[in-house]
A and B are shown apart, each in its own frame.
Chain A
Amino acid sequence: GQQLNQSPQSMFIQEGEDVSMNCTSSSIFNTWLWYKQDPGEGPVLLIALYKAGELTSNGRLTAQFGITRKDSFLNISASIPSDVGIYFCAGGDRTGSWGKLQFGAGTQVVVTP
C-alpha cells in the first residue's frame, strides 16, 4: 500500500518552466526511486538514489535523497511538452531478501506551450 505523501497532486506549467515535486514518509528508506508513466504504459525508471544526501542528475532531471532518509525531491528544469505524464516516487528497503517498494500517489504534470 501507499504510505508516502507525494505533492503536488498535479501541476499545470508552461513550457520552459522548472518543475519541483517531493515525497515524504514517516518511515526511513534506504532507496528512493523516481518513475515517469505515460498514458497506457508502464512506469519508466528515471532516477535511483541509494544514499542519504545523494544528489543525482539525469539530463534535465535532478533528484535528491533527503538527509533524514524520509524524503526525496525531483526537479525538472526547462520543461518541454514530452515531460507530460505522471511522476511517481517510491521508497524501498534493500536490506531484505526482496525489494518491496512503497509508492506515492503520483504527480500529474501538464505542460502547455
Chain B
Amino acid sequence: SQTIHQWPATLVQPVGSPLSLECTVEGTSNPNLYWYRQAAGRGLQLLFYSVGIGQISSEVPQNLSASRPQDRQFILSSKKLLLSDSGFYLCAWSPPSGTQYFGPGTRLTVL
C-alpha cells in the first residue's frame, strides 16, 4: 500500500531564516505531488504541483519554492521566511489524473 510521509512534524523558525520541508511517498511510482498551505485550520491553498522529476508548477507567486529531486520526493523551500509563511503545510500525492491523498502535515510557526 502507498504511504506518504512529511518531515518535520512541527517547526519553529525565526523570520529571515531558510526553510526546507520534505515529503516522501512509498509504494507507488511516478506520482503527481502537491504542496498545500492551510491557514487557521480552514481552507487549502495549492502552492505547487509536480507531474515528474524536475517538473514544478507554481500556483501562487510567493516567498516559497519547490523541487522534486527524485520520483517520490518533494521539497518545499524558502531562502528567507516571512511571518506570513506560518501555517500548516500539507503534501499530497495522486496517481495521474487521480484522487489525492494527503500526508500528516507540518506545522510551521515563524516568529
Contact = CB atoms under 8 A, between A and B. Distances in A.
24 contacts: A1-B46, A2-B43, A33-B100, A40-B105, A41-B105, A42-B90, A42-B102, A43-B90, A45-B100, A86-B42, A92-B99, A94-B97, A94-B98, A95-B97, A97-B51, A97-B96, A98-B96, A99-B32, A100-B46, A100-B49, A101-B46, A103-B44, A105-B42, A106-B43
B94 A99 contact: yes
Interface of A: 1-2, 31, 33, 35, 37, 39-45, 48, 86, 88, 90, 92, 94-101, 103, 105-106, 108
A86 B88 CA distance: 15
Interface string B91-111: 010101111111111010000
B104 A41 contact: yes
Interface of B is mostly: strand
A99 B102 contact: no
B41 interface: yes
Contacts of A101: 46, 100
A68 B41 CA distance: 30
Interface in B17-48: 32, 41-46
